[in-house]
């Protein structure tokens, strides 16, 4: 099943960043895309963009609302699920974190991802085809220094690996795309300090949401015999565990 064999996709976290970029690329390939996020106005703006190709259907759903996830997702016939919804835990030291922020991070990044996959998997199994793509992070693959966010993305990593075992023989493929620092709105969920938010996108050229979306589409577009299990991608000048900038190519 290459991308041309699929007709319907569901993308969470679709109101901005990687999710929105992925919606646009899949619609441009002629797929009907169910775009899911909390911000209805953003989704409507995305669905109304001209020249997208396939239809974009908005659904205002909070991924922490398990009942809503099953009510909406369970009634859709989905070939592709892109689990892109996620937030970053706050920049405060772990011992100073608000427990509510810990819960919100885990409920969105882990529980939301799990329940989205659980809601659509029965239909995929019944049809004998499907592809689940989970957006992870290099924080889930390397110890970089954000315990709660790292734990949430490490859970996404193991979920992706174990889903391949659980779904063996069903015809469903599972892919994890784990980007490094990406120019999205996630920094705003980590701090209210505008200067710090801006600083996260400076110092070296970070990857874009479109870069990650292109990787997602590439994995989807492989022939059925090929499962792209894990894509780890970072900026050229970002090294997991730290930032390395060669003095010859550093600019500014």
The helix or strand, by DSSP H or E, that contains position 232, with its residue range, turns out to be: strand 230-233
The helix or strand, by DSSP H or E, that contains position 238, with its residue range, turns out to be: strand 238-239
1-16 in b/e form (b: 16+ CB < 10 A) is bebeebebbbbbbbbb
CA separation for the pair 9, 224 (Å, rounded): 17
CA separation for the pair 104, 47 (Å, rounded): 27
DSSP codes joined into one string, 84-115 = ----PPPSS-GGG--HHHHHHHHIIIIIHHHH
Q: Where are the beta strands (DSSP E) in 130-229?
A: 130-135, 172-179, 182-183, 207-208
CA separation for the pair 68, 36 (Å, rounded): 11
Task: Based on the residue annotation, tell me whether 6 is a catalytic residue of this protein.
Answer: no
- How many Cβ atoms from other residues are within 10 Å of residue 143's Cβ? 11
Instruction: Record the tokens describing residue 130, joined without a space.
Output: 């499907």
| Catalytic-labelled residue, pool 73, 139, 149, 187 | 149
Q: Annotated active-site positions, please? A: 149
């Amino acid at each position: 099943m290459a991308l041309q064999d699929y007709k319907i996709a569901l993308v969470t976290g679709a109101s901005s960043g990687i999710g929105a970029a992925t919606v646009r690329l899949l619609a441009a390939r002629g797929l009907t895309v169910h775009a899911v996020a909390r911000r209805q106005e953003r989704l409507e703006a995305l669905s109304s963009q001209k020249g997208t190709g396939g239809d974009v259907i908005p659904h205002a759903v909070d991924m922490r609302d398990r009942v809503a996830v099953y009510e909406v997702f369970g009634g859709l016939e989905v070939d592709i699920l892109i689990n892109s919804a996620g937030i970053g835990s706050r920049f405060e030291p772990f011992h100073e974190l608000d427990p509510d922020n810990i819960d919100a991070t885990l409920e969105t990044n882990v529980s939301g991802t799990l329940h989205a996959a659980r809601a659509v998997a029965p239909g995929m199994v019944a049809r004998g085809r499907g592809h689940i793509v989970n957006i992870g992070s290099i924080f889930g693959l390397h110890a970089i220094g954000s315990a709660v966010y790292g734990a949430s993305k490490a859970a996404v990593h193991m979920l992706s690996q174990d889903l391949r075992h659980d779904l063996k023989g069903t015809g469903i493929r599972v892919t994890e795309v784990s980007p490094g620092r990406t120019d999205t709105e996630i920094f705003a969920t980590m701090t209210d300090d505008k200067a710090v938010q801006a600083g996260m996108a400076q110092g070296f050229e970070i990857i874009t949401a479109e870069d990650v979306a292109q990787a997602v589409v590439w994995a989807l577009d492989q022939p059925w015999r090929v499962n792209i299990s894990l894509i780890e991608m970072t900026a050229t000048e970002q090294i997991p565990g730290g930032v390395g900038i060669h003095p010859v190519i550093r600019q500014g």
